[in-house]
Amino acid sequence: MITNWNKSEREGLLSFAPNYFAYLSNQTLIKPSLICKIFGFFTIKIKEKVLGSHKNDSNLIKLDLLLMENLFYGQTITRKFDLKGITSRVAKVKKDEKDGGTGWDADWIEGSLRTLLLIHPHSKHVISNAIENDTKFLSESNVMDYSLLVGVDDLRKELVVGMIDVIGTFNLAKMLESRGKMVLKSSDKKGEVTILPPIEYANRFKKAMETYFVAVPEKWSRPLEKESDQVVKNHHQEDPSLPSVF
């Protein structure tokens, strides 16, 4: 997959790249990660001949391109979603779009997909751990505005997930944009601002993703407890990673 990117994104990626490659080559050997792989970034120069000018006169067009893995390669994806953790995001997907379009958070929630597409408890555990690892790394690298791309393969009964747009550094322009939008938003809608400082963005993202994917109950699942009924238990007797029944 090739993506066109602007100058600020290029500069942000070049400063972020060493940490990114170190993280993927070292940490992911022992810890799960959902960050999509970047294969390279290139600048393509195209000479465009100017009509009516001298033979050697031409305009130079420069394109900065980012080459990433195709998350859906070999899959039969029928529905796609770009999730940022903002429950009010609505893409208004058009049914006549060639590839069906890409839904957003509200499309995922309102379509009841999070309850209809249950996942195995182990898969839920791996996704949660991967998001915890990745958001910690990205926030420490001053990166935000990333998304979780989800593809539904109805043929194989699979969900394909990966974190994309991990090159958005929180620079001065992003900070001003964030503060400006927060001023314009009412107090009860400040959480809907897309651009947030990296730590705040990561916390909102993790909290939302934890509710977006529901594990199918199994014999080891435990029901949710009321706060008044909670008691102190020996940590050897209860594994906190086991999913609750929703």
Question: Which position has the token pair 């020996």?
Answer: 234
Q: Which of 9-13, 59-63, 68-72 has the highest mean pLDDT?
A: 68-72
Question: What is the rounded CA–CA span in Å between residue 5 and residue 167?
Answer: 10
Judge whether 38 and 66 are in contact, CB under 8 Å: yes
Give, as one character, the DSSP assignment of residue 40. E
Compute the radius of gyration of the chain from its Cα atoms: 21
Q: What integer pLDDT is reported at residue 71 of this predicted model?
A: 93
pLDDT 10s digits, 20-35: 989 988 876 788 999 9
User: How large is the average pLDDT for residues 34-53?
Assistant: 80
Examine the pLDDT at 246 and tell me if it is beyond 50. no
Range of weakest confidence among 113-127, 149-163, 221-235: 221-235
pLDDT 10s digits, 159-214: 999 999 888 777 655 665 656 666 556 544 545 778 889 999 999 999 999 999 98
Give, as one character, the DSSP assignment of residue 37. P
Percentage of the chain beyond pLDDT 90 is 35
Judge whether 37 and 162 are in contact, CB under 8 Å: no
pLDDT 10s digits, 83-122: 999 988 887 655 555 566 899 999 898 876 766 788 899 9
Judge whether 53 and 44 are in contact, CB under 8 Å: no
Question: Which position has the token pair 């208004």?
Answer: 92
Examine the pLDDT at 137 and tell me if it is beyond 60. yes
Q: What integer pLDDT is reported at residue 168 of this predicted model?
A: 77
Instruction: Tell me the three-class secondary structure of 77-90, residue by residue.
Output: CCEEEEECCCCCCC
Judge whether 62 and 1 are in contact, CB under 8 Å: no
Positive or negative, the Cα torsion across 30, 31, 34, 38? negative
Average pLDDT, the chain: 78
Cα–Cα distances (Å) from 17 to 41, 140, 167, 199, 218, in that order, read: 10, 13, 9, 20, 41
Question: What is the rounded CA–CA span in Å between residue 185 and residue 243?
Answer: 35
The residues pairing with 163 across neighbouring beta strands, listed in sequence order, are: 35, 148
Sheet arrangement for strand 158-164 = 102-103, 79-83, 147-153, 158-164
Q: What integer pLDDT is reported at residue 228 of this predicted model?
A: 44
For domain 2-215, the CATH superfamily is 2-Layer Sandwich (3.30.810.10)
Pick the residue with more confidence: 218 or 64?
64
pTM of the model: 0.76
